[in-house]
């Protein structure tokens, strides 16, 4: 080896040693960094969040090395039961006495908004990956709340806008009756009207509805070209099955406004084929996404969705921000989270704005036909990319107090 190469190798070793030392130098308030995963473990969203959300966060902690400044990184989890008061109480307990520094996932918009309010009060971090209501970065915004994977605005300007501009100019909504569904219906309605379309009616159903017969009859009677399903998980699955059972799809089209790969798996391609959906991420996008998905599949038994990928990515980003800040001080970590770009298997050139919205490209997909699917979980084909600057609400429209007008 030449002297030049020896010098380069020695310098590299020293640099690596300095980087390692820097990684170990810092302070944690309780000699531990603790992350809480607050999710739906046993309810209607368990398949799209639940155990998968917990495992995704654990994978991120393991990939980071399991320690921060030589101290343990712990992961705890709890079931919020899809009740905002239960979620808020658990978040308060975790922040007050449980030593939790950051809460992730937060499936269910009502829960996410309530927990974001607690985080604002307690000056602790929350990252929302499995809820859509844009209030997280508007009315409930704070330096400590981040909305990461998707939101109602991005769904509306993906699936809703594409269908409206493609001739779907009259809509009837079947909406789950809480913050998520109501917010999604509002966002899509705005897009439909902006595209010179009309909303001719809506029916709201409770969370966890199994009998959609009366709602489908209302939708059928409306004669709207498009029936917008402002729901997700089992509610959407049951609505799609009911629509086919009542023959609604012969004359009207369904718009599943938040459809997950687990939903497609449950429905089967014969039933779901042709549905369009907006997602931030798909397991079969590229080599990086496939590598993560294979590891996840081994642990959970099914492929990850965009929220699982967001749970992983956002946890890693938070850990890197703590490392860069040299402490778990919430304000210092917030500054680093907004300063550092996000480039990983979930997003390229992602960035957290002042209002807490993580902006990144979104994608419109179409469910494949059975003949097009070549292997297990081969369900989606790309339709178009929605650039980050178009996918999310412009800062000029934000009502967040942190945004300088």
Domain residue extents for the chain: 30-150+287-360, 153-279+363-391
Q: What is the mean pLDDT of the chain?
A: 93
pLDDT over threshold 90, residue 329? yes
pLDDT over threshold 80, residue 174? yes
Q: How many CA atoms lie within 13 A of 353 on its CB side?
A: 23
Residue 229: pLDDT band (50, 70, 90) is: very high
Among all chains, which residue has been given the structure tokens 């897009």? Answer: 191
CA 345, CA 278: separation in Å to the nearest integer? 18
pLDDT digits (tens, 9 = 90+) for 121-163: 999 999 999 999 999 999 999 999 999 999 999 999 999 999 9
Residue 14: pLDDT band (50, 70, 90) is: very low
The beta strands (E) that lie in 289-392 are given as: 351-352, 358-359, 362-367, 380-386
Residue 24: pLDDT band (50, 70, 90) is: low
* Nearest in space to 380 (alpha carbons), one of 361, 363, 362, 366: 366
Please report the pLDDT score of residue 36 as a whole number. Answer: 98
* H/E segment holding residue 377: none
Instruction: Write the DSSP assignment of 381-403 as a string of letters.
Output: EEEEEE-HHHHS--GGG---TTS
CA 56, CA 42: separation in Å to the nearest integer? 17
* H/E segment holding residue 214: helix 213-222
pLDDT digits (tens, 9 = 90+) for 268-299: 999 999 999 999 999 999 999 999 999 999 99
CB 148 within 8 A of CB 131: no
pLDDT digits (tens, 9 = 90+) for 153-167: 999 999 999 999 999
What percent of the chain lies above the pLDDT cut of 70? 94
pTM score: 0.91
Please report the pLDDT score of residue 359 as a whole number. Answer: 98
Average pLDDT of the segment spanning 188-213:
96
Whether 30-150+287-360 and 153-279+363-391 share one fold: the answer is yes
pLDDT over threshold 50, residue 7? no
DSSP 8-state code for residue 27: B
Average pLDDT of the segment spanning 27-38:
96
Please report the pLDDT score of residue 25 as a whole number. Answer: 79
CATH 1.10.8.60 assigned to 30-150+287-360: no
Residue 5: pLDDT band (50, 70, 90) is: very low
Please report the pLDDT score of residue 400 as a whole number. Answer: 97
pLDDT over threshold 90, residue 19? no
For domain 153-279+363-391, give the CATH number.
3.40.50.2300
pLDDT digits (tens, 9 = 90+) for 233-266: 999 999 999 999 999 999 999 999 999 999 999 9
Is beta strand 358-359 parallel, antiparallel or unpaired with respect to 351-352?
A: antiparallel
Average pLDDT of the segment spanning 323-342:
98
φ, ψ dihedrals at 65, nearest 5°: 125, -5
Please report the pLDDT score of residue 405 as a whole number. Answer: 60
pLDDT digits (tens, 9 = 90+) for 341-400: 999 999 999 999 999 999 999 999 999 999 999 999 999 999 999 999 999 999 999 999
Average pLDDT of the segment spanning 95-102:
98
């Amino acid at each position: 080896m030449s002297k030049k190469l020896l010098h380069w190798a020695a310098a590299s070793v020293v640099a690596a040693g300095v980087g390692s030392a820097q990684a170990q130098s810092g302070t944690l308030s309780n000699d531990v960094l603790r992350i809480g995963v607050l999710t739906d473990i046993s309810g209607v969203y368990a398949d799209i969040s639940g155990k998968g959300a917990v495992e995704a966060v654990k994978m991120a902690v393991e990939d980071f090395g399991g320690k921060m400044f030589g101290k343990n990184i712990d992961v705890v989890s709890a079931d919020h039961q899809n009740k905002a008061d239960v979620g808020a109480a658990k978040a308060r307990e975790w922040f007050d006495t449980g030593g939790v520094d950051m809460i992730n996932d937060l499936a269910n918009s009502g829960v996410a908004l309530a927990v974001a309010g607690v985080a604002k009060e307690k000056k602790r971090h929350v990252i929302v990956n499995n809820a859509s209501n844009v209030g997280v970065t508007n009315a409930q915004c704070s330096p400590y709340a981040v909305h990461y994977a998707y939101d109602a605005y991005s769904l509306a300007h993906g699936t809703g806008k594409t269908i409206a501009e493609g001739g779907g100019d009259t809509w009837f909504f079947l909406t789950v009756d809480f913050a998520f569904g109501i917010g999604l219906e509002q966002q899509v309605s705005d897009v439909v009207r902006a595209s010179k379309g009309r909303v001719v009616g809506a029916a709201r159903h409770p969370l966890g509805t199994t009998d959609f017969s009366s709602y489908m009859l209302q939708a059928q009677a409306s004669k709207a070209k498009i029936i917008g399903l402002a729901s997700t998980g089992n509610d959407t699955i049951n609505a799609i099955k009911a629509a086919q059972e009542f023959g609604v799809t012969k004359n009207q089209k369904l718009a599943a406004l938040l459809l997950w790969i687990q939903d497609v798996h449950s429905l089967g391609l014969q039933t779901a084929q042709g549905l369009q959906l907006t997602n931030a991420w798909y397991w079969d996008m590229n080599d990086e996404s496939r590598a993560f998905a294979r590891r996840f599949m081994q642990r959970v038994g099914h492929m990850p969705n965009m929220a699982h990928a967001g749970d992983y990515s956002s946890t890693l980003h938070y850990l890197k921000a703590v490392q860069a800040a040299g402490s778990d001080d919430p304000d210092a970590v917030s500054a680093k989270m907004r300063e550092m770009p996000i480039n990983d298997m979930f997003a390229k050139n992602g960035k957290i704005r002042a209002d807490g919205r993580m902006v990144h490209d979104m994608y419109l997909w179409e469910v494949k036909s059975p003949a097009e699917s070549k292997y297990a979980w081969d369900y989606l084909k790309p339709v178009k990319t929605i650039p980050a600057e178009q996918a999310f609400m412009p800062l000029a429209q934000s009502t967040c107090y942190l945004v300088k007008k």
